[in-house]
Amino acid sequence: MTVMEVAKRLHKNPETIRRWIREGKLPAQKIGSQHFIEEGDVAAREIDDDATLPTRFTRTFWGGPMPDWAAAVRESRRGH
């Protein structure tokens, strides 16, 4: 699979895929100027992305749910 195909499948930016390749997080083979990624490695990455976050990222220190800051900012910018 090419970088663009992997990016579409994982819903990521192609530059994120290239960074993962540079960092060794995603194995790839370079042929000419293009990287090619095995489908099995992409499937393994999909499973990793579905992993649940640790509790410290989903709950506040007092035990309540973590606020959705992205939604709050989006709402505050509506109509601007």
Q: 50, 55, 16: which is closest to 35 by C-alpha?
A: 16
Domains and CATH numbers, the chain: 3-77 (1.10.1660)
Q: Give the integer Cα–Cα distance in Å for 5 and 16.
A: 13
Check whether 55 has a pLDDT greater than 80: no
Check whether 56 has a pLDDT greater than 80: no
Q: For the whole prediction, is pTM greater than 0.85?
A: no
**Pick the residue with more confidence: 11 or 18?**
18
Q: Tokens 């000419």 identify what position?
A: 32
